[in-house]
Chain A
Amino acid sequence: MMTTEPDASFLASLAGPDEQVYRGLRARLAAQAAREGILDIAYRTIDTPVGELLLAATERGLVRVAYPAEGHDAVLSALAGQVSPRVLHAPPRLDAAARELDEYFARTRRSFGLSLDLQLAHGFRRTVLEHLIQIGYGVTASYGAVAVASGSPAAVRAVGTACARNPLPVVIPCHRVVRGDGSIGQYVGGTEAKRALLDLEAAA
């Protein structure tokens, strides 16, 4: 026998949470999670001259910087699968990263003093990233030179892949790696962004 449900449409007038109160609750949840050590990944976004960047950090340090072209939602889903699904929007952990990036784009900072978590890069890719960090502000190196520095002179293409899959663009300066013939080469944020970063550093 089917029982008909009584009409309860009037319950819709039971208002949901006030938006400001609700935002406060969510911020408090993120803060409590961080205090209890169960906020595995905190993230926020920042506006920059090269677009809105996604910043994500574990307790160990900055783990991911992503351009809009990568799709921020897709990047967060990938982090949930690769690192931990305990992901919350929680700007406080990214305060230092946001400040240093702001300063970099304002040309008042030439190097980053942030703790980095390189767990997303393994093996040769990780070796390449460690060499990229050594390339100074306003300087460029060729893919071939980075291959030599990384101990595998023949691995020029693999250096290109390592740059393309750099989990921390801008902070780990893969934009400073250009082609041997002097042309700009590919970039995870698009060649326009790469040009903008090189111009920014050249003008400082």
Chain B
Amino acid sequence: MTVKPFELIVAEHGPTVLRVCRAVLDPADADDAWSETFLAALRAYPRLRQESNVRAWLVTIAHRKAIDRHRAKARAPVPAATVPERPSAYGIPAEPDSRLWDAVRALPPKQRGAVAYHYLADLPYQEVGKLLGTSEAAARRSAADGIAALRNIYQQEKAR
């Protein structure tokens, strides 16, 4: 029996999981959620069954970490002395790409999740529905609505 070294799991799925985290969380939380996801995955990895779908397993962990972070935020809102700037990494002005990221993060939660888990992580709608606590059909509708909204914004940005 051959077992993949965990480094290969990170190399293969790390970028996808980070895109998912950045889609379902704010930028500051996304990187931490990515670390928490892979740390939890590393801890459980020796017990993972060989035939498991590793990407679905990682996305499921990331989904739970994202929920934890949303809950923690809801419990303890951080008092802000000033209105925060729009999230733009490292003071670089927002690129069209980051406007699209912002648009993903502005979607209603179910659409945001459906777009992230189906379009970025390539999970089937049945799995997406399980993660979001909805039916397969509802997950499909959420994803379609989300994509339609994003396409509008993308086309507007392109026309500018």
Contacts and interface: CB of A to CB of B under 8 A. Distances in A.
A39 B10 CA distance: 14
Interface in A81-114: 81, 84-89
Contacts of A26: 10, 14
A80 interface: yes
Counting from the closest, the 7 A-B pairs by CB-CB distance are: A87-B5, A85-B3, A80-B5, A80-B3, A76-B5, A10-B154, A15-B97
A22 B38 CA distance: 13
Chain A interface helix/strand/loop/mixed: mixed
Interface in A5-38: 6-8, 10-11, 13-18, 21-22, 25-26, 28-29, 32-33, 36, 38
A198 interface: no
Given A77-B5, A80-B4, A86-B46, A32 B35 contact: yes
A133 interface: no
A25 B100 CA distance: 23
A3 interface: yes
In this complex, the interface size class of chain A, counting residues with CB under 8 Å from chain B, is 35 or more
B31 A25 contact: yes
Given A10-B150, A77-B4, A33 B18 contact: no
B94 to A, nearest CB: 12
B69 interface: no
In this complex, the interface size class of chain B, counting residues with CB under 8 Å from chain A, is 35 or more
B67 interface: no
B96 A13 contact: yes
13 contacts: A3-B140, A6-B144, A14-B100, A14-B101, A16-B18, A32-B39, A38-B39, A85-B6, A86-B6, A87-B5, A88-B6, A88-B7, A88-B10
A27 B4 CA distance: 19
B46 to A, nearest CB: 6
B15 interface: yes
A88 B39 CA distance: 11
A155 interface: no
A26 B5 CA distance: 15
A16 B14 CA distance: 10
Contacts of B35: 25, 28-29, 32
Interface in B12-66: 14-15, 18-19, 23, 31, 34-35, 38-39, 42-43, 45-46
Contacts of A29: 10, 35, 38-39, 42
Contacts of A25: 14, 18, 31, 34-35
